[in-house]
C-alpha cells in the first residue's frame, strides 16, 4: 500500500526567510505522530502548507501516492487530508449539527453516526449554536467536523491549547482510537512530555527544520532532542 503522507525537501518562505526549510517527513500508515517545537518553529506553517493554504517555494507533498503539492485545499480534503486549524474556525451562528454536516460536503453522506460514535458528548449539543459552546466543546466539535470528512490523514494544530487538563486528556484518549480504525493523525502539541507520552512517533522542529525524529523512546536518548527540550 502507498505511503500515507510524504513530504520531500519542502521549503516555505515567509517574510524573506524560510519558515520551513527543506523539511522531510513521512507517515507510512495508521500512526499517531506528534509535531513539537518552540514558538515560531514552523508547526502551523507546515500544517497550513500540507492542507494547501500556503504555497511552498520548493519540494513536494504526496498523499497516498498522489502528488498533491499544487492541488487546491478542497481537492486535498476530498482525497482524505483534513485539517483542524488553530482557533477551530467553527461557524458560530450555525448549530453543532450543521457544523458537523459541513464536514460531510466532500462525500455527500450526511450520516453523523460514525462521528457521534467517537464523540458521544456532541449528541446532546447538536442543536446548540456552535458559538455558545465552551472551549472544550468547541474543540470536540472542530475535531468532529474534520472526522465527518472521513480523513485518511488528520492534521490537528494546537490540540490541547486552552483546554483544562480533563478536556485535554479526553482528546488525547480519542487519538489512539482513531488510529486503531486505520487513520493517520499528525498533531501539534506544545507540551512535549504529553506528546511523547501518547505518540507513536515524534518530529521535533526548530527554525523550520527537523532537529530530531523517531519513536519517543529513541528521542529521549537522542542528544539533539535533549538539547532541544532544554531549549539549547
Ligand atoms: N502570516 C504570516 N506571515 C509572515 N510570516 C509568518 C506568518 N505566520 C507565521 N510566520 C512566520 O513563520 C515562522 C513560523 O511560524 P509558525 O506560526 O508556523 O510557527 P509555530 O511553530 O506554529 O509557532 P507557535 O508555537 O507560536 O504556534 C515564524 O518565523 C513566523 O514569524
Ligand atoms: Mg502554531
pLDDT less than 70: residues of the chain: 222-232
Cα(153)–Cα(80) distance, integer angstroms: 6
SS3 194: helix
CA–centroid distance, residue 39 to ligand 1 (Å)? 8
What pLDDT does residue 228 have?
66
Q: How far apart are CA 23 and CA 38, in angstroms?
A: 16
Cell of 133: 459552546
Q: Tell me what pLDDT residue 178 has.
A: 97
pLDDT tens figures, 9-54:
999 999 889 999 999 999 999 999 999 999 999 999 999 999 999 9
CB 124 within 8 A of CB 149: no
Domain carrying residue 91: 5-229
| Cell representation of residue 188 | 501539534
The pLDDT of residue 105 is: 79
- Among the bound ligands, name the one nearest to the CA of residue 206: 1
Q: Rounded distance, CA 190 to CA 188, Å? A: 7
Residue nearest to atom 4 of ligand 1 (CA): 14
Query: Dihedrals φ, ψ of 37, to 5°?
Result: 160, 160
pLDDT for res 57: 97
Tell me the CA–centroid distance for residue 113 and ligand 2, in Å. 31
CATH number for 184: 3.40.50.300
CA of 40 to the centre of ligand 2 (A): 7
pLDDT for the residue 107: 78
Query: In total, how many domains does the chain have?
Result: 1
* Residue 106 confidence (pLDDT): 79
Amino acid at each position: 500500500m502507498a505511503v500515507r503522507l510524504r513530504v520531500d525537501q519542502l521549503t516555505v518562505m515567509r517574510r524573506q526567510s524560510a519558515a520551513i526549510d527543506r523539511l522531510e517527513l513521512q507517515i507510512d500508515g495508521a500512526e499517531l505522530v506528534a509535531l513539537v517545537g518552540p514558538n515560531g518553529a514552523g508547526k502551523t506553517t507546515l500544517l497550513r502548507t500540507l492542507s494547501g493554504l500556503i504555497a511552498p517555494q520548493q519540494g513536494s507533498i504526496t498523499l497516498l501516492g498522489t502528488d498533491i503539492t499544487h492541488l487546491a485545499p478542497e481537492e486535498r480534503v476530498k482525497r482524505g487530508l483534513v485539517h483542524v486549524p488553530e482557533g477551530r474556525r467553527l461557524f458560530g451562528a450555525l448549530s453543532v449539527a450543521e457544523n458537523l454536516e459541513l464536514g460531510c460536503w466532500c462525500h455527500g453522506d450526511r450520516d453523523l453516526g460514525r462521528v457521534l460514535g467517537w464523540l458521544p458528548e456532541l449528541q446532546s449539543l447538536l442543536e446548540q449554536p456552535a458559538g455558545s459552546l465552551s472551549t472544550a466543546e468547541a474543540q470536540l466539535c472542530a475535531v468532529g467536523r474534520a472526522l465527518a470528512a472521513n480523513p485518511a490523514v488528520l492534521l490537528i494544530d494546537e490540540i490541547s491549547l486552552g483546554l483544562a487538563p480533563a478536556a485535554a486528556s479526553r482528546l488525547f484518549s480519542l487519538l489512539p482510537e482513531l488510529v486503531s480504525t486505520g487513520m493517520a493523525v499528525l498533531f501539534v502539541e506544545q507540551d512535549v512530555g504529553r506528546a511523547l507520552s501518547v505518540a507513536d512517533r515524534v518530529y521535533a522542529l526548530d527554525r523550520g527544520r527537523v532537529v530530531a525524529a523517531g519513536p519517543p523512546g529513541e528521542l529521549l536518548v537522542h542528544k539533539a532532542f535533549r538539547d532541544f527540550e532544554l531549549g539549547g
